[in-house]
Amino acid sequence: MPGLFDGIRNGISGIMTSRRQMEVTSNNIANAANENYTQQVAQLSTSNTIYEGSSPFGQGVEIRDIERIRDHLLDEQIWDSASTAKGQETQSKWLKRIETVFNEPSEEGINQALSDFWEAFSELSVAPENFATRSTLITKTEYFTTLVNGVDEKLVNYVEDLDTEIGQFLTDINALAEEIANLNKYIFNVEIDQFSKANDLRDQRDAAIEALTGKIDVRTKELPNGMTNVFIDQHPIVYQDRNEDLVTRQDPLDVSKLQVIWEHGDTDFNPTGGEMQGLLQVRDTIIPAIQASLDSFSSTMISEVNKIYANGVGLNGETLLESQLGFGSFQVNGLDITNSTTSLNLVSAGSYGAFHVSFYDSSGDSIRTASIVVDNDDSLDDIVQKLNNIRGLNASTISSTTNNGRLRLELDTISGSNSLGETSFAISNNTGGYDSSGFLDLVGFSQTAKSTNTSTTAPVLTGVDLSTLQTQLGEPNVADVMSHVLNLSGTFTINMFETFSETAGFTDGNHMQQLSVDVASTDTINSIMAKINALTANYGVSVSLNASDQLEVTTTSQTDANDEFVASGGTNFVRLSFANTYQSPSVSTDTPPSNYNSFGDELDFMATMQMNTMFQGSSASDIAIDDNITGAAKIHAAHKLAPGDNSLALDMVELQHSRVAVSNQFTIGEQYQTVIADIGSDVRQAENLADNEKLVLEGLMQARDTISGVSLDEELGKMILFQRTYEANARMIRTFDEMLQELLQ
């Protein structure tokens, strides 16, 4: 049966328990400001009860454990939210930095530089031959390309900065993982030896895990032995008391970037949250997307401007043109052209396109225009051959170790083939066809009608009976009419069109040749006929007087099996006209070919190879004014070499308002503005997501503070309770002691 000593023992257990509870309370109060501290509570239990018969006898109280007040489910929610918040915050921070790179809207941004570029062409259209205006265009173009290059360079530098920051973060992540692994070991050793929870060490481990979740999204699993495993996307970064480092290596798919891999070679590293995920998202997704948008804008700018500009001419014509690109460095319809023999498919199967070269004399007057016809099967070699067969033009490809197959066009000044006074050329459709002399009207030729021959018969254009001019010219007979000084001056043209591509019932063949015939005030019909007949040797054109006293113009010119123009001996005769009848057809069947656009290059071939262009390059990193624009005289304002011609400048002004970008949805300016708008939208969205996640995290942290944090009021209340309990147990011991003294006496 329990006695007085048992009562004393119960009191002693109460005193010891109260003292220990007071110590726990003291520790809680001391750590009230420690954000990594978890409130601790002494968990009490009744000491083993003694049963004698039907009567239980209590043995006092004991402290079963000192526990942390911790909601582990809430911890998981906080860690998840912290990872998401830090990831969004990182993206928001970097997006704001990227937004400042573009410096929009401002007077120094790309948008303003683009507007200035268009305005420079507008000013050029007003004064197409003014050197100051031309120089201004060069300056504005160079400034625009410099800005685009600069933005791209800064984005590239940001990727390098991100790589550096990623490396620093990996150092922090690895250090935290090592700390957690070491704490696992300490916790295990303490708890297995002391048979109690290592609360302070567990607080340190939770703090390390929480710091880690801010840097990278992790999952945790506590083991029965007290250790906690930590996983990144199912890969353990901490396994009990060991950790595996994350390291970097050069990305095999992009040597300009670092790739994050596991120390032992596993490349399956896919963080879903934290600052690391934010950095990788910015580096691998956000910046590349912005670069792609800027590249697309730059590519559109290069392509669309060059399509127009390549069909122009400077103030003096050209004697030499070289393309910036060769095979292996340009595409046609999205396909890489890697050699000179691959079919270019510049036109669709079954259709044709023309390429026109106009020749000028030293005064800038048009002498002739020669054309080639290209089909879908033609390769670069085929086109070079056709161009080389144009009389007076040497065409070749340049062999180079760095840029092989560049196209070269050069005026032939050696062979004597430019026998009509040609001193320069231009890629220009100078084939309007005209008679500024009045000669054609005088002798009764129709200026707009084509010859009605077939492909197997020679063409003939016939004038009126010259006897009808006797009265008008005051001459007694046709012979005197032929030798009469006409006192006319000007120029008329003779045009030839191929027949092999004609649609049945239509005269829609491509233009092949235009020859200019100058008429002087001292010329007679005889002398003009001599000028025309002088073209026979090289172009097969001749004129004669028939039995009805009518002038007849004909030609032996044909196209051969390769669709090339020959003066004779081909397979299909051409048609004749004194004008490019597509511009003013006399009959409804005289229609232009399907690809006709009045430009010198109907195929965009030169723009594709960047020849005679405004821009070179292909993206934001290398867009630049063409190296061949060496001065103001090289600037193109005109499609034809003619005084005051501003047609190209006007086309460029019109391009500013044309929807040519993004599947013809936007203008070039709108395409750039979309890039800026998308960045702004991304910045606002990232800010909102970061702010929202921050609010969620703050709410969860407040909930945890309510549960796990130290309340001074609550602890002071406990202190009073434990003090009273201590005093009561001491009084109980004193009472039992007095009873024992009474018994002994």
**The pLDDT of residue 728:** 84
**169 φ, ψ (degrees, to nearest 5):** -65, -40
Q: Is 459 within a domain?
A: yes
Specify whether 443 is located in the same domain as 561.
yes
Contact between 676 and 102 (Cβ < 8 Å): yes
**The pLDDT of residue 174:** 95
What does pLDDT average to over the chain?
90
pLDDT at 4 over 80: no
Q: Is 591 within a domain?
A: no
Per-residue pLDDT tens over the stretch 265-313: 777 788 889 999 999 999 999 999 999 999 999 999 999 999 999 999 9
Helices (H) and strands (E) in the chain, counts: 17, 29
pLDDT at 431 over 80: no
Instruction: Give dist(CA 742, CA 745) in Å, integer.
Output: 5
Question: DSSP secondary-structure letter at 221?
Answer: E
* Pairing verdict, β 331-332 and 424-426: unpaired
**Cis bond leading into 643, ω under 30°?**
no
> What number of CA atoms fall less than 13 Å from residue 422's CA on the CB side?
28
Instruction: Give dist(CA 409, CA 580) in Å, integer.
Output: 25
Adjacent-strand bridge partners of 320: 410
Contact between 330 and 609 (Cβ < 8 Å): yes
Q: Is 648 within a domain?
A: yes
Compute the average pLDDT of residues 355-383: 93
**The pLDDT of residue 307:** 96
What end-to-end distance do the CA atoms of the chain give, in Å? 22
Compute the average pLDDT of residues 598-611: 92
**The pLDDT of residue 402:** 66
Separation in Å, CA 499 to CA 222, 585, 605: 86, 17, 23
Per-residue pLDDT tens over the stretch 570-597: 999 999 999 877 776 778 888 888 888 8
Mutual angle of helices 110-126 and 647-655, in 10-degree steps: 150
**The pLDDT of residue 279:** 95
Please identify which residue in the block is written with the tokens 């180079």: 400
Specify whether 375 is located in the same domain as 467.
no
Per-residue pLDDT tens over the stretch 654-668: 999 999 999 999 999
Instruction: Give dist(CA 689, CA 286) in Å, integer.
Output: 16
Instruction: Give dist(CA 91, CA 171) in Å, integer.
Output: 20
Specify whether 552 is located in the same domain as 610.
no
Instruction: Give dist(CA 300, CA 666) in Å, integer.
Output: 11
**Ordered alpha helix ranges (H), 195-226:** 199-215
Per-residue pLDDT tens over the stretch 55-73: 676 777 888 888 888 888 8
E strand map for 520-667: 541-545, 550-555, 558-559, 565-566, 572-573, 575-577, 615-616, 624-625
**Ordered alpha helix ranges (H), 55-198:** 72-102, 110-126, 131-194
What share of the chain in percent tops pLDDT 90?
64
Helix (H, G, I), strand (E, B) or coil at 495: strand
Confidence class for position 526, pLDDT limits 50, 70, 90 = very high
Q: Is 306 within a domain?
A: yes
Specify whether 129 is located in the same domain as 235.
yes
Adjacent-strand bridge partners of 424: 360
Tokens of 344: 């270019």
Tokens of 332: 């046609």
CB atoms < 10 A from the CB of 655, how many? 19
Instruction: Give dist(CA 225, CA 625) in Å, integer.
Output: 70
Please identify which residue in the block is written with the tokens 């929202």: 692
Confidence class for position 5, pLDDT limits 50, 70, 90 = low
Specify whether 124 is located in the same domain as 273.
yes
Q: Is 309 within a domain?
A: yes
Contact between 469 and 442 (Cβ < 8 Å): yes
**The pLDDT of residue 59:** 75
Amino acid at residue number 745: Q
Secondary structure element (H or E) that encloses residue 688, with its range: helix 668-708
Instruction: Give dist(CA 336, CA 324) in Å, integer.
Output: 16
Instruction: Give dist(CA 568, CA 555) in Å, integer.
Output: 9
Compute the average pLDDT of residues 406-435: 88
**362 φ, ψ (degrees, to nearest 5):** -65, -20
pLDDT at 519 over 60: yes
pLDDT at 194 over 80: no
**Ordered alpha helix ranges (H), 216-318:** 274-281, 287-309
Specify whether 329 is located in the same domain as 474.
no
Choosing from 577, 605, 625, the residue where a domain stops is 577
Specify whether 368 is located in the same domain as 451.
no
**53 φ, ψ (degrees, to nearest 5):** 65, -130
Instruction: Give dist(CA 625, CA 632) in Å, integer.
Output: 13
pLDDT at 2 over 70: no
Distance from the Cα of residue 258 to its chain's centroid: 22
Confidence class for position 53, pLDDT limits 50, 70, 90 = low
Per-residue pLDDT tens over the stretch 701-728: 888 888 877 778 787 888 888 788 888 8
Amino acid at residue number 650: L
Please identify which residue in the block is written with the tokens 């890697």: 338
Closest CA to 13 of 61, 63, 66: 61
Question: DSSP secondary-structure letter at 411?
Answer: E
Question: DSSP secondary-structure letter at 212?
Answer: H
**DSSP secondary structure, 340-376, as one string:** SSSB---S-TT-EEEEEEEEE-TTS-EEEEEEEEEET
Q: Is 659 within a domain?
A: no
**318 φ, ψ (degrees, to nearest 5):** -125, 150
**The pLDDT of residue 1:** 53
Specify whether 471 is located in the same domain as 485.
yes
What's the alpha-carbon Rg for the chain, to the nearest Å?
A: 46
Domain count, the chain: 4
Q: Is 585 within a domain?
A: no
Q: Is 663 within a domain?
A: no
E strand map for 11-69: 40-46, 50-52, 55-57, 61-68
Tokens of 639: 């499609």
Specify whether 573 is located in the same domain as 615.
no
SS3 per residue for 526-545: HHHHHHHHCCHHHHCEEEEE
Contact between 710 and 24 (Cβ < 8 Å): no
Per-residue pLDDT tens over the stretch 447-494: 888 999 999 999 999 999 999 999 999 999 999 999 999 999 999 999
What share of the chain in percent tops pLDDT 70?
97
Domain span including residue 293 = 75-298+673-698
Contact between 92 and 683 (Cβ < 8 Å): yes
**The pLDDT of residue 547:** 94
Specify whether 146 is located in the same domain as 288.
yes
Specify whether 225 is located in the same domain as 98.
yes
Instruction: Give dist(CA 566, CA 389) in Å, integer.
Output: 9
Instruction: Give dist(CA 354, CA 394) in Å, integer.
Output: 18
* Pairing verdict, β 228-232 and 235-239: antiparallel
SS3 per residue for 62-100: EEEEEEECCCHHHHHHHHHHHHHHHHHHHHHHHHHHHHH
Amino acid at residue number 402: T
Contact between 311 and 652 (Cβ < 8 Å): no
**The pLDDT of residue 54:** 65
**The pLDDT of residue 415:** 86
Specify whether 464 is located in the same domain as 572.
yes
